[in-house]
Amino acid sequence: MTDEFDDALALANGHRPHERHPRRTQEHPTTPAAPVIPDPPRAPDERPVPPHTWESARTVAYRSAVPLTPRRLPLDRALGHTLAAPLTALTDLPAFDTAAMDGWAVNGPGPWELAGGPGLLAGAPGHPTRLGDGQALRIATGARVPEGTTAVVRAENASARGGRLSGRLPRLGADIRPRAQECRSGAELLPSGTRLTPAALGLAAAAGYDELAVHPLPRAEVLVLGDELLHHGLPHDGRIRDALGPMTGPWLAALGAEVLVTRRLGDDADALREAVETSRADLIVTTGGTAAGPVDHLRSTLRALHATTLISGVTVRPGHPMLLAELPEHGTPVVGLPGNPLAAVAGLLTLAAPLLHALSGRMPPVTRTATAGEAFGGHRTDTHLVPVRCPAGDGGSGGGAGVAVPLNYAGPAMLRGIAAASALAVVPPGGVAHHDPVQLLELPPA
Ligand SMILES: Nc1nc2c(c(=O)[nH]1)N[C@H]1C(S)=C(S)[C@@H](COP(=O)(O)OP(=O)(O)OC[C@H]3O[C@@H](n4cnc5c(N)ncnc54)[C@H](O)[C@@H]3O)O[C@H]1N2
Ligand code: MOO
Protein backbone atom coordinates (compact mmCIF):
# COMPACT_ATOMS: atom_id res chain seq x y z
CA MET A 1 0.00 0.00 0.00
CA THR A 2 2.77 2.36 0.98
CA ASP A 3 4.58 1.52 -2.25
CA GLU A 4 1.45 2.29 -4.24
CA PHE A 5 1.12 5.66 -2.59
CA ASP A 6 4.79 6.41 -3.10
CA ASP A 7 4.47 5.49 -6.75
CA ALA A 8 1.48 7.73 -7.28
CA LEU A 9 3.15 10.56 -5.45
CA ALA A 10 6.30 10.03 -7.47
CA LEU A 11 4.23 10.22 -10.64
CA ALA A 12 2.34 13.24 -9.37
CA ASN A 13 5.69 14.89 -8.82
CA GLY A 14 6.76 14.18 -12.32
CA HIS A 15 8.93 11.12 -11.62
CA ARG A 16 8.38 7.66 -12.92
CA PRO A 17 7.15 5.18 -10.32
CA HIS A 18 9.51 2.30 -9.57
CA GLU A 19 7.24 -0.32 -11.06
CA ARG A 20 3.80 -0.33 -12.70
CA HIS A 21 1.13 -2.90 -11.86
CA PRO A 22 -1.82 -2.94 -14.26
CA ARG A 23 -4.76 -2.07 -11.98
CA ARG A 24 -7.78 -1.97 -14.15
CA THR A 25 -7.39 -4.04 -17.28
CA GLN A 26 -8.38 -7.30 -15.59
CA GLU A 27 -11.29 -5.84 -13.63
CA HIS A 28 -13.85 -5.82 -16.44
CA PRO A 29 -13.19 -8.57 -18.94
CA THR A 30 -16.18 -7.51 -21.07
CA THR A 31 -14.21 -4.41 -22.08
CA PRO A 32 -11.19 -4.93 -24.31
CA ALA A 33 -8.01 -4.00 -22.45
CA ALA A 34 -6.78 -0.57 -23.47
CA PRO A 35 -3.20 -0.54 -24.73
CA VAL A 36 -0.73 0.79 -22.19
CA ILE A 37 0.72 3.92 -23.72
CA PRO A 38 4.17 4.83 -22.50
CA ASP A 39 4.63 8.34 -21.19
CA PRO A 40 6.38 10.58 -23.71
CA PRO A 41 9.91 11.39 -22.67
CA ARG A 42 10.19 14.49 -20.53
CA ALA A 43 11.97 17.45 -22.13
CA PRO A 44 15.36 17.96 -20.48
CA ASP A 45 14.47 21.44 -19.19
CA GLU A 46 11.06 20.41 -17.79
CA ARG A 47 11.13 20.53 -13.99
CA PRO A 48 8.78 18.45 -11.85
CA VAL A 49 6.26 20.56 -9.95
CA PRO A 50 6.38 19.78 -6.22
CA PRO A 51 2.99 19.26 -4.53
CA HIS A 52 1.29 22.42 -3.33
CA THR A 53 -0.23 22.93 0.07
CA TRP A 54 -4.02 23.22 0.01
CA GLU A 55 -3.89 26.97 0.59
CA SER A 56 -1.25 27.63 -2.05
CA ALA A 57 -3.08 25.41 -4.57
CA ARG A 58 -6.18 27.59 -4.18
CA THR A 59 -4.11 30.75 -4.58
CA VAL A 60 -2.27 29.43 -7.65
CA ALA A 61 -5.55 28.32 -9.24
CA TYR A 62 -7.14 31.74 -8.62
CA ARG A 63 -4.14 33.69 -9.91
CA SER A 64 -3.76 31.53 -13.00
CA ALA A 65 -6.83 33.01 -14.74
CA VAL A 66 -8.06 36.47 -15.67
CA PRO A 67 -11.72 37.54 -15.98
CA LEU A 68 -13.42 36.87 -19.32
CA THR A 69 -14.15 39.95 -21.46
CA PRO A 70 -17.36 41.63 -20.26
CA ARG A 71 -20.50 41.85 -22.37
CA ARG A 72 -23.92 43.46 -21.92
CA LEU A 73 -26.84 41.17 -21.13
CA PRO A 74 -30.53 41.92 -20.64
CA LEU A 75 -31.66 41.43 -17.05
CA ASP A 76 -33.60 38.27 -17.84
CA ARG A 77 -30.39 36.56 -19.01
CA ALA A 78 -28.02 37.89 -16.37
CA LEU A 79 -28.79 35.63 -13.40
CA GLY A 80 -25.65 34.01 -12.01
CA HIS A 81 -23.34 36.28 -13.98
CA THR A 82 -20.87 38.59 -12.28
CA LEU A 83 -21.07 42.37 -12.47
CA ALA A 84 -18.19 43.75 -14.54
CA ALA A 85 -18.82 47.29 -13.23
CA PRO A 86 -20.39 48.63 -10.05
CA LEU A 87 -24.18 48.74 -10.06
CA THR A 88 -24.79 52.48 -9.78
CA ALA A 89 -28.30 53.83 -9.25
CA LEU A 90 -29.67 55.49 -12.40
CA THR A 91 -32.40 57.19 -10.35
CA ASP A 92 -33.25 58.21 -6.81
CA LEU A 93 -35.01 55.38 -4.97
CA PRO A 94 -37.85 55.95 -4.38
CA ALA A 95 -37.94 58.27 -7.36
CA PHE A 96 -40.63 60.40 -5.63
CA ASP A 97 -42.32 60.69 -2.22
CA THR A 98 -44.56 57.64 -1.97
CA ALA A 99 -47.37 56.46 0.30
CA ALA A 100 -46.20 53.43 2.32
CA MET A 101 -49.74 52.38 3.34
CA ASP A 102 -53.29 52.44 2.01
CA GLY A 103 -55.22 55.28 3.71
CA TRP A 104 -55.33 59.05 3.47
CA ALA A 105 -52.75 61.67 2.67
CA VAL A 106 -53.29 64.45 5.21
CA ASN A 107 -52.01 67.97 5.66
CA GLY A 108 -51.60 69.06 9.29
CA PRO A 109 -53.34 67.80 12.44
CA GLY A 110 -56.86 66.32 12.17
CA PRO A 111 -59.71 66.16 11.90
CA TRP A 112 -59.40 66.78 8.18
CA GLU A 113 -61.76 67.89 5.46
CA LEU A 114 -61.99 65.27 2.68
CA ALA A 115 -60.79 66.66 -0.62
CA GLY A 116 -62.97 65.79 -3.61
CA GLY A 117 -61.94 63.47 -6.44
CA PRO A 118 -61.29 59.77 -6.90
CA GLY A 119 -58.19 59.50 -4.73
CA LEU A 120 -54.66 58.62 -5.73
CA LEU A 121 -53.56 55.26 -7.11
CA ALA A 122 -50.03 53.90 -7.66
CA GLY A 123 -48.85 54.68 -11.17
CA ALA A 124 -51.51 57.32 -11.83
CA PRO A 125 -50.24 59.73 -14.51
CA GLY A 126 -49.83 63.45 -13.94
CA HIS A 127 -48.93 65.24 -10.73
CA PRO A 128 -51.49 65.11 -7.92
CA THR A 129 -52.84 68.52 -7.04
CA ARG A 130 -51.57 70.17 -3.87
CA LEU A 131 -53.23 69.17 -0.64
CA GLY A 132 -54.50 72.24 1.16
CA ASP A 133 -54.06 72.92 4.87
CA GLY A 134 -56.35 70.61 6.91
CA GLN A 135 -57.29 68.49 3.90
CA ALA A 136 -57.20 64.67 3.45
CA LEU A 137 -57.25 62.65 0.23
CA ARG A 138 -57.68 58.88 -0.24
CA ILE A 139 -54.33 57.30 -1.31
CA ALA A 140 -53.08 53.81 -2.15
CA THR A 141 -49.72 52.27 -1.23
CA GLY A 142 -47.14 53.24 -3.84
CA ALA A 143 -48.98 56.36 -5.08
CA ARG A 144 -47.12 59.63 -5.30
CA VAL A 145 -48.10 61.78 -2.30
CA PRO A 146 -49.41 65.23 -3.23
CA GLU A 147 -47.46 68.31 -2.33
CA GLY A 148 -48.43 69.56 1.13
CA THR A 149 -48.81 66.06 2.61
CA THR A 150 -47.48 65.90 6.17
CA ALA A 151 -48.30 62.23 6.80
CA VAL A 152 -50.30 59.24 5.56
CA VAL A 153 -53.00 58.02 7.97
CA ARG A 154 -53.59 54.25 7.67
CA ALA A 155 -57.09 53.22 6.62
CA GLU A 156 -57.53 51.20 9.82
CA ASN A 157 -56.61 54.18 12.03
CA ALA A 158 -59.23 56.67 10.78
CA SER A 159 -62.87 56.95 9.83
CA ALA A 160 -64.47 59.15 7.20
CA ARG A 161 -67.98 60.46 7.81
CA GLY A 162 -69.92 63.38 6.42
CA GLY A 163 -67.04 64.75 4.36
CA ARG A 164 -64.66 64.70 7.32
CA LEU A 165 -61.88 62.36 8.40
CA SER A 166 -61.07 61.81 12.03
CA GLY A 167 -58.40 59.58 13.49
CA ARG A 168 -55.19 59.21 15.41
CA LEU A 169 -52.80 62.12 14.91
CA PRO A 170 -49.81 60.73 12.95
CA ARG A 171 -46.27 61.96 13.54
CA LEU A 172 -44.84 64.18 10.84
CA GLY A 173 -43.86 62.11 7.78
CA ALA A 174 -45.53 58.93 9.05
CA ASP A 175 -45.97 56.25 6.34
CA ILE A 176 -44.40 58.41 3.65
CA ARG A 177 -41.37 56.91 1.89
CA PRO A 178 -39.39 60.02 1.09
CA ARG A 179 -37.71 60.37 -2.29
CA ALA A 180 -34.12 58.94 -2.24
CA GLN A 181 -34.67 57.19 1.11
CA GLU A 182 -32.89 54.10 -0.26
CA CYS A 183 -30.36 55.82 -2.53
CA ARG A 184 -29.62 58.91 -4.55
CA SER A 185 -29.00 58.68 -8.29
CA GLY A 186 -25.32 57.80 -8.77
CA ALA A 187 -24.94 55.88 -5.50
CA GLU A 188 -23.08 52.53 -5.70
CA LEU A 189 -25.57 49.79 -4.87
CA LEU A 190 -23.37 46.73 -5.49
CA PRO A 191 -19.64 46.51 -6.22
CA SER A 192 -18.11 45.12 -9.39
CA GLY A 193 -17.48 41.39 -8.92
CA THR A 194 -20.88 40.67 -7.34
CA ARG A 195 -22.57 37.50 -8.58
CA LEU A 196 -26.09 38.37 -9.63
CA THR A 197 -28.76 36.80 -7.45
CA PRO A 198 -32.51 37.17 -8.06
CA ALA A 199 -32.52 40.00 -5.50
CA ALA A 200 -29.68 41.80 -7.28
CA LEU A 201 -31.60 41.59 -10.58
CA GLY A 202 -34.64 43.09 -8.86
CA LEU A 203 -32.52 45.88 -7.44
CA ALA A 204 -31.00 46.57 -10.88
CA ALA A 205 -34.47 46.83 -12.40
CA ALA A 206 -35.68 49.11 -9.61
CA ALA A 207 -32.60 51.29 -10.15
CA GLY A 208 -33.44 51.73 -13.84
CA TYR A 209 -31.38 49.11 -15.69
CA ASP A 210 -32.53 47.17 -18.78
CA GLU A 211 -29.20 45.43 -19.27
CA LEU A 212 -26.00 44.97 -17.30
CA ALA A 213 -22.27 44.73 -18.05
CA VAL A 214 -21.27 41.26 -16.86
CA HIS A 215 -18.50 38.74 -17.26
CA PRO A 216 -19.81 35.82 -19.31
CA LEU A 217 -20.23 32.49 -17.54
CA PRO A 218 -17.03 30.50 -18.09
CA ARG A 219 -17.83 27.64 -20.48
CA ALA A 220 -16.77 24.33 -19.00
CA GLU A 221 -16.44 20.90 -20.57
CA VAL A 222 -16.35 17.74 -18.49
CA LEU A 223 -14.43 14.69 -19.68
CA VAL A 224 -15.22 11.55 -17.72
CA LEU A 225 -12.50 8.91 -17.98
CA GLY A 226 -12.71 5.23 -17.10
CA ASP A 227 -13.68 2.09 -19.01
CA GLU A 228 -15.14 0.59 -15.84
CA LEU A 229 -18.00 3.09 -15.76
CA LEU A 230 -21.62 2.25 -16.49
CA HIS A 231 -24.14 4.96 -17.27
CA HIS A 232 -27.30 3.16 -16.30
CA GLY A 233 -28.46 0.15 -14.32
CA LEU A 234 -26.73 -1.74 -11.55
CA PRO A 235 -23.03 -2.45 -11.12
CA HIS A 236 -22.07 -5.79 -12.62
CA ASP A 237 -19.01 -7.77 -13.73
CA GLY A 238 -16.63 -5.52 -11.80
CA ARG A 239 -18.03 -2.38 -13.41
CA ILE A 240 -19.56 0.49 -11.44
CA ARG A 241 -21.92 3.38 -12.08
CA ASP A 242 -20.38 6.68 -13.14
CA ALA A 243 -20.99 8.93 -10.15
CA LEU A 244 -18.91 11.83 -11.43
CA GLY A 245 -20.65 12.42 -14.77
CA PRO A 246 -23.97 13.30 -13.11
CA MET A 247 -22.24 15.29 -10.36
CA THR A 248 -19.44 17.30 -11.93
CA GLY A 249 -21.39 19.35 -14.49
CA PRO A 250 -24.08 20.43 -12.01
CA TRP A 251 -21.43 21.21 -9.43
CA LEU A 252 -19.55 23.41 -11.92
CA ALA A 253 -22.84 25.09 -12.88
CA ALA A 254 -23.55 25.81 -9.22
CA LEU A 255 -20.08 27.34 -8.97
CA GLY A 256 -20.90 29.65 -11.89
CA ALA A 257 -19.96 27.81 -15.09
CA GLU A 258 -21.98 27.21 -18.23
CA VAL A 259 -21.45 23.51 -18.84
CA LEU A 260 -21.20 22.86 -22.58
CA VAL A 261 -21.06 19.09 -22.46
CA THR A 262 -20.13 16.07 -20.35
CA ARG A 263 -18.32 13.52 -22.49
CA ARG A 264 -17.69 9.91 -21.49
CA LEU A 265 -14.37 8.90 -23.03
CA GLY A 266 -13.51 5.62 -21.32
CA ASP A 267 -9.79 5.06 -21.05
CA ASP A 268 -9.07 5.92 -24.67
CA ALA A 269 -5.92 8.07 -24.76
CA ASP A 270 -6.52 9.16 -28.37
CA ALA A 271 -10.08 10.24 -27.62
CA LEU A 272 -8.83 12.18 -24.59
CA ARG A 273 -6.17 13.93 -26.63
CA GLU A 274 -8.63 14.84 -29.37
CA ALA A 275 -11.24 16.07 -26.88
CA VAL A 276 -8.71 18.32 -25.13
CA GLU A 277 -7.20 19.58 -28.39
CA THR A 278 -10.53 20.48 -29.97
CA SER A 279 -12.34 21.85 -26.91
CA ARG A 280 -13.82 25.35 -27.19
CA ALA A 281 -14.32 25.62 -23.45
CA ASP A 282 -12.78 28.19 -21.10
CA LEU A 283 -12.16 25.38 -18.60
CA ILE A 284 -11.72 21.65 -19.15
CA VAL A 285 -12.41 19.38 -16.18
CA THR A 286 -11.46 15.71 -16.34
CA THR A 287 -12.39 12.99 -13.86
CA GLY A 288 -10.19 10.00 -13.09
CA GLY A 289 -6.90 9.07 -14.64
CA THR A 290 -4.77 11.38 -12.49
CA ALA A 291 -2.78 8.71 -10.71
CA ALA A 292 -0.37 5.94 -11.55
CA GLY A 293 -2.63 3.27 -13.03
CA PRO A 294 -1.81 1.64 -16.35
CA VAL A 295 -4.65 3.42 -18.12
CA ASP A 296 -4.27 6.78 -16.36
CA HIS A 297 -3.47 8.75 -19.51
CA LEU A 298 -4.17 12.28 -18.38
CA ARG A 299 -0.67 13.37 -17.42
CA SER A 300 0.97 11.82 -20.49
CA THR A 301 -1.67 13.39 -22.73
CA LEU A 302 -1.08 16.83 -21.23
CA ARG A 303 2.67 16.39 -21.66
CA ALA A 304 2.19 15.33 -25.28
CA LEU A 305 0.11 18.48 -25.85
CA HIS A 306 2.90 20.62 -24.31
CA ALA A 307 0.62 21.81 -21.55
CA THR A 308 2.23 23.68 -18.67
CA THR A 309 1.72 21.99 -15.33
CA LEU A 310 0.83 24.52 -12.65
CA ILE A 311 -0.21 22.09 -9.94
CA SER A 312 0.72 18.44 -9.80
CA GLY A 313 -0.53 17.03 -6.54
CA VAL A 314 -1.77 18.86 -3.46
CA THR A 315 -1.07 17.94 0.16
CA VAL A 316 -4.77 17.38 0.86
CA ARG A 317 -6.80 14.25 1.72
CA PRO A 318 -8.75 13.11 -0.09
CA GLY A 319 -7.74 14.33 -3.49
CA HIS A 320 -3.96 14.52 -3.39
CA PRO A 321 -3.36 13.54 -7.07
CA MET A 322 -5.44 16.50 -8.38
CA LEU A 323 -3.76 18.61 -11.01
CA LEU A 324 -4.00 21.88 -12.90
CA ALA A 325 -2.37 22.51 -16.27
CA GLU A 326 -2.62 25.17 -18.96
CA LEU A 327 -2.85 24.35 -22.64
CA PRO A 328 -0.51 26.18 -24.99
CA GLU A 329 -1.89 28.91 -27.28
CA HIS A 330 -4.95 30.15 -25.31
CA GLY A 331 -3.85 29.06 -21.84
CA THR A 332 -7.08 27.10 -21.35
CA PRO A 333 -6.95 25.55 -17.87
CA VAL A 334 -7.36 21.81 -17.43
CA VAL A 335 -8.36 20.63 -13.96
CA GLY A 336 -7.76 16.93 -13.35
CA LEU A 337 -10.08 15.60 -10.66
CA PRO A 338 -9.08 12.30 -9.07
CA GLY A 339 -11.43 9.41 -9.77
CA ASN A 340 -12.38 8.59 -6.20
CA PRO A 341 -15.66 10.52 -5.88
CA LEU A 342 -14.97 12.44 -2.65
CA ALA A 343 -11.47 13.20 -3.94
CA ALA A 344 -13.13 14.67 -7.04
CA VAL A 345 -15.25 16.93 -4.81
CA ALA A 346 -12.06 18.04 -3.07
CA GLY A 347 -10.58 18.90 -6.47
CA LEU A 348 -13.69 20.82 -7.49
CA LEU A 349 -13.54 23.00 -4.41
CA THR A 350 -9.75 23.33 -4.28
CA LEU A 351 -9.00 24.06 -7.95
CA ALA A 352 -12.16 24.51 -10.04
CA ALA A 353 -13.92 26.91 -7.65
CA PRO A 354 -11.06 29.46 -7.43
CA LEU A 355 -10.55 29.22 -11.21
CA LEU A 356 -14.22 29.87 -11.90
CA HIS A 357 -14.17 32.82 -9.51
CA ALA A 358 -11.15 34.26 -11.34
CA LEU A 359 -12.61 33.71 -14.83
CA SER A 360 -15.85 35.37 -13.73
CA GLY A 361 -14.18 38.37 -12.10
CA ARG A 362 -15.18 37.44 -8.56
CA MET A 363 -13.08 37.59 -5.39
CA PRO A 364 -11.53 34.25 -4.37
CA PRO A 365 -13.88 31.89 -2.51
CA VAL A 366 -13.55 32.23 1.24
CA THR A 367 -13.96 29.93 4.19
CA ARG A 368 -16.05 30.77 7.25
CA THR A 369 -15.28 29.92 10.84
CA ALA A 370 -17.41 27.54 12.89
CA THR A 371 -16.86 25.73 16.17
CA ALA A 372 -15.76 22.10 16.17
CA GLY A 373 -18.66 20.08 17.62
CA GLU A 374 -16.21 17.29 18.36
CA ALA A 375 -12.50 16.65 17.81
CA PHE A 376 -11.47 16.38 14.14
CA GLY A 377 -8.56 14.00 13.73
CA GLY A 378 -6.16 15.45 11.21
CA HIS A 379 -3.71 13.92 8.76
CA ARG A 380 -0.09 13.98 9.90
CA THR A 381 1.17 16.23 7.10
CA ASP A 382 -1.78 17.07 4.85
CA THR A 383 -4.94 19.15 5.07
CA HIS A 384 -7.99 16.96 5.57
CA LEU A 385 -11.34 17.93 4.01
CA VAL A 386 -14.21 16.48 6.04
CA PRO A 387 -17.94 16.60 5.20
CA VAL A 388 -19.78 18.21 8.09
CA ARG A 389 -23.26 19.08 9.15
CA CYS A 390 -23.44 22.66 10.37
CA PRO A 391 -27.08 23.69 10.47
CA ALA A 392 -27.78 27.30 9.57
CA GLY A 393 -28.72 29.34 12.62
CA ASP A 394 -27.03 26.91 15.01
CA GLY A 395 -25.34 29.55 17.14
CA GLY A 396 -23.34 27.16 19.29
CA SER A 397 -21.02 28.18 22.08
CA GLY A 398 -18.38 29.51 19.72
CA GLY A 399 -20.15 32.70 18.76
CA GLY A 400 -22.81 32.50 16.12
CA ALA A 401 -21.10 30.83 13.18
CA GLY A 402 -22.45 27.33 13.87
CA VAL A 403 -21.22 24.06 15.27
CA ALA A 404 -19.68 21.67 12.77
CA VAL A 405 -20.13 17.94 13.31
CA PRO A 406 -18.27 15.48 11.08
CA LEU A 407 -20.37 13.05 9.12
CA ASN A 408 -19.85 9.34 8.66
CA TYR A 409 -19.25 7.68 5.31
CA ALA A 410 -16.55 10.17 4.36
CA GLY A 411 -14.08 7.75 2.77
CA PRO A 412 -12.45 8.89 -0.50
CA ALA A 413 -14.63 6.55 -2.57
CA MET A 414 -17.87 7.51 -0.78
CA LEU A 415 -20.45 10.20 -1.50
CA ARG A 416 -22.90 9.35 1.27
CA GLY A 417 -21.34 11.79 3.76
CA ILE A 418 -20.94 14.72 1.35
CA ALA A 419 -24.46 14.27 -0.04
CA ALA A 420 -25.82 14.89 3.47
CA ALA A 421 -23.31 17.65 4.29
CA SER A 422 -23.77 21.39 4.44
CA ALA A 423 -20.04 22.16 4.21
CA LEU A 424 -16.54 20.71 4.11
CA ALA A 425 -14.38 21.31 7.18
CA VAL A 426 -10.80 22.27 6.36
CA VAL A 427 -8.83 20.39 9.00
CA PRO A 428 -5.16 21.38 9.17
CA PRO A 429 -2.40 18.80 9.75
CA GLY A 430 -2.65 17.63 13.35
CA GLY A 431 -6.43 18.11 13.59
CA VAL A 432 -8.78 20.45 15.46
CA ALA A 433 -9.72 20.02 19.13
CA HIS A 434 -13.35 19.91 20.29
CA HIS A 435 -14.68 23.50 20.78
CA ASP A 436 -11.83 25.05 18.77
CA PRO A 437 -12.54 27.13 15.65
CA VAL A 438 -12.62 25.20 12.38
CA GLN A 439 -12.74 26.64 8.86
CA LEU A 440 -15.63 25.61 6.61
CA LEU A 441 -15.94 25.63 2.84
CA GLU A 442 -19.57 26.14 1.90
CA LEU A 443 -21.02 23.76 -0.64
CA PRO A 444 -22.66 25.56 -3.55
CA PRO A 445 -26.46 25.78 -3.43
CA ALA A 446 -28.49 23.47 -5.68
N1 LIG B 1 -0.47 3.44 -6.55
C2 LIG B 1 -1.34 4.38 -6.14
N3 LIG B 1 -2.59 4.25 -6.49
C4 LIG B 1 -3.45 5.18 -6.10
C5 LIG B 1 -3.02 6.27 -5.33
C6 LIG B 1 -1.69 6.35 -4.99
O7 LIG B 1 -1.25 7.28 -4.31
N8 LIG B 1 -0.87 5.39 -5.44
N9 LIG B 1 -3.91 7.19 -4.94
C10 LIG B 1 -5.25 6.78 -4.85
C11 LIG B 1 -6.05 7.94 -4.73
S12 LIG B 1 -5.87 8.76 -3.28
C13 LIG B 1 -6.92 8.32 -5.67
S14 LIG B 1 -8.03 9.59 -5.38
C15 LIG B 1 -7.03 7.65 -6.94
C16 LIG B 1 -6.96 8.62 -8.06
O17 LIG B 1 -6.94 7.87 -9.22
P18 LIG B 1 -7.31 8.39 -10.63
O19 LIG B 1 -7.58 9.84 -10.62
O20 LIG B 1 -6.28 7.90 -11.56
O21 LIG B 1 -8.69 7.70 -10.86
P22 LIG B 1 -8.98 6.23 -11.37
O23 LIG B 1 -7.81 5.37 -11.16
O24 LIG B 1 -9.51 6.38 -12.72
O25 LIG B 1 -10.12 5.84 -10.38
C26 LIG B 1 -9.91 5.75 -8.99
C27 LIG B 1 -11.15 5.12 -8.38
O28 LIG B 1 -12.24 5.94 -8.61
C29 LIG B 1 -13.25 5.25 -9.35
N30 LIG B 1 -13.84 6.17 -10.31
C31 LIG B 1 -13.23 6.77 -11.32
N32 LIG B 1 -14.09 7.50 -12.02
C33 LIG B 1 -15.27 7.35 -11.42
C34 LIG B 1 -16.57 7.84 -11.70
N35 LIG B 1 -16.81 8.65 -12.74
N36 LIG B 1 -17.58 7.47 -10.90
C37 LIG B 1 -17.36 6.63 -9.84
N38 LIG B 1 -16.15 6.16 -9.53
C39 LIG B 1 -15.12 6.50 -10.32
C40 LIG B 1 -12.51 4.16 -10.05
O41 LIG B 1 -13.34 3.11 -10.43
C42 LIG B 1 -11.49 3.78 -9.00
O43 LIG B 1 -12.10 2.98 -8.03
O44 LIG B 1 -5.98 6.75 -7.12
C45 LIG B 1 -5.74 5.94 -6.01
N46 LIG B 1 -4.75 5.03 -6.43
O1 MOO C 1 -7.21 11.50 -3.53
MO2 MOO C 1 -7.60 9.93 -2.93
O3 MOO C 1 -8.96 10.35 -2.30
O4 MOO C 1 -6.98 10.47 -1.27
O5 MOO C 1 -8.68 8.59 -2.58
pLDDT band at 392 (very low <50, low <70, confident <90, very high): low
Q: Name the domain count of the chain.
A: 4
Q: Is 343 in the pocket of ligand 1 (CB under 6 A)?
A: yes
Give the pLDDT confidence score for residue 118 in this predicted structure: 77
> Residue 192: which CATH number?
3.90.105.10
For residue 412, the CA-to-ligand 1 centroid distance in Å is 9
β-partners of residue 80 are none
Q: Is 224 in the pocket of ligand 1 (CB under 6 A)?
A: yes
Q: Is 343 in the pocket of ligand 2 (CB under 6 A)?
A: yes
pLDDT at 351 over 50: yes
pLDDT band at 396 (very low <50, low <70, confident <90, very high): very low
For residue 228, the CA-to-ligand 2 centroid distance in Å is 18
Burial 148-180 (b: 16+ CB within 10 A, else e): bbbbbbbbeebebeeeebebeebeeebbbbebb
pLDDT in tens, 417-440: 999 999 999 999 999 999 999 999
Q: Are residues 130 and 79 in the same domain?
A: no
Q: Are residues 351 and 301 in the same domain?
A: yes
Over range 116-125, report the average pLDDT.
81
Give the pLDDT confidence score for residue 417 in this predicted structure: 97
Q: Are residues 205 and 115 in the same domain?
A: no
The whole domain housing 264 covers: 54-68+217-360
For residue 151, the CA-to-ligand 1 centroid distance in Å is 70
Q: Which ligand is nearest the CA of 323, by number?
A: 1
For residue 80, the CA-to-ligand 2 centroid distance in Å is 31
Looking at 360, 383, 409, the residue that finishes a domain is 360
Q: Are residues 238 and 333 in the same domain?
A: yes
Atom nearest to 319 CA in ligand 2:
1
pLDDT in tens, 3-30: 333 333 333 333 333 332 222 223 323 3
pLDDT band at 47 (very low <50, low <70, confident <90, very high): low
Looking at 154, 177, 200, the residue that finishes a domain is 177
Q: Is 324 in the pocket of ligand 1 (CB under 6 A)?
A: no
**How many percent of the chain have pLDDT more than 90?**
80
Q: Are residues 251 and 355 in the same domain?
A: yes
Determine the distance from the C-alpha atom of residue 330 to the mean position of all C-alpha atoms in its chain, rounded to a whole number. 25
Give the pLDDT confidence score for residue 117 in this predicted structure: 77
ipTM surpasses cut 0.90 = yes
* Residue 103 placed within a domain: yes
For residue 184, the CA-to-ligand 2 centroid distance in Å is 53
Over range 230-238, report the average pLDDT.
96
> Residue 230: which CATH number?
3.40.980.10
Q: Are residues 280 and 355 in the same domain?
A: yes
Q: Is 226 in the pocket of ligand 1 (CB under 6 A)?
A: yes
pLDDT band at 86 (very low <50, low <70, confident <90, very high): very high
pLDDT in tens, 299-313: 999 999 999 999 999
Q: From atom 4 of ligand 2, which residue's Cα is the shortest distance away? A: 318
* Residue 287 placed within a domain: yes
Over range 208-233, report the average pLDDT.
97
Give the pLDDT confidence score for residue 266 in this predicted structure: 96
Q: From atom 3 of ligand 2, which residue's Cα is the shortest distance away? A: 318
pLDDT band at 391 (very low <50, low <70, confident <90, very high): confident
